[in-house]
Amino acid sequence: MDVILKQDVERLGAKNDIVTVKTGYARNYLIPQGFAIVATESARKVVAETIRQQSHKAVKALEDAKALAEKMSGVSVKIGAKAGESGKIFGSVNTIQVAEALAAAGHPVERKDIDLGTETIRDLGSYTAKVKLHKEVTAEVTFEVVAE
């Protein structure tokens, strides 16, 4: 039996995929749980149109992300932190502070999209962070931790 998946199903397929499964699996599990619908001719046409529209939107989103990455490539922000005499800061700098500094510079970014790497930032100095703007586009932003 052919069904159209309404969401990702592990070890079966992704959203909007048309897959062939056993009739009992489809009628007793996939369809009642809301994971799939029967792949009728009209449902196939609707899914094809949806995929076409999503691909157009995905191309536009990728272009926007690339343009934003070019703008952000030269951005350098300063983050103030309380520090001791030896240059060690009290606590550490995290993605929240980097996101706030980027938003103040005019580039609002979600903190979950910022990657500081494996190191924890506990000293004054200059660092780089990778900002994920799209699943295929990342930008590197430099930031400087300065004493307040």
Mean pLDDT to the nearest integer, 59-64: 90
- What is this structure's pTM? 0.64
Tell me what the pLDDT averaged over the chain comes to: 91
What's the token pair of residue 127?
A: 């660092």
65-117 pLDDT per residue, tens? 888 888 888 888 999 999 888 888 998 899 999 999 999 988 889 989 999 98
Say how far residue 55 (Cα) sits from the centre of its chain.
17
Question: What is the radius of gyration, based on Cα positions, of the chain?
Answer: 23
Burial 126-148 (b: 16+ CB within 10 A, else e): ebebebbbbeebebebebebeee
Q: What is the pLDDT of residue 27?
A: 96
Q: Which two tokens stand for residue 130?
A: 């990778």
Q: Of the ranges 57-61, 100-104, 116-120, which one carries the lowest mean pLDDT score?
A: 116-120
pLDDT at residue 54 greater than cutoff 80: yes
Q: Which domains does the chain have, with CATH numbers?
A: 2-64 (3.40.5.10), 69-147 (3.10.430.100)
Identify the pLDDT of residue 77. 92
Spatial CB neighbours of 17, under 8 Å, sequence gap ≥ 6: 4, 5
How confident is the model over 2-26, as pLDDT tens digits? 999 999 999 998 899 999 999 999 9
Q: What is the pLDDT of residue 45?
A: 95
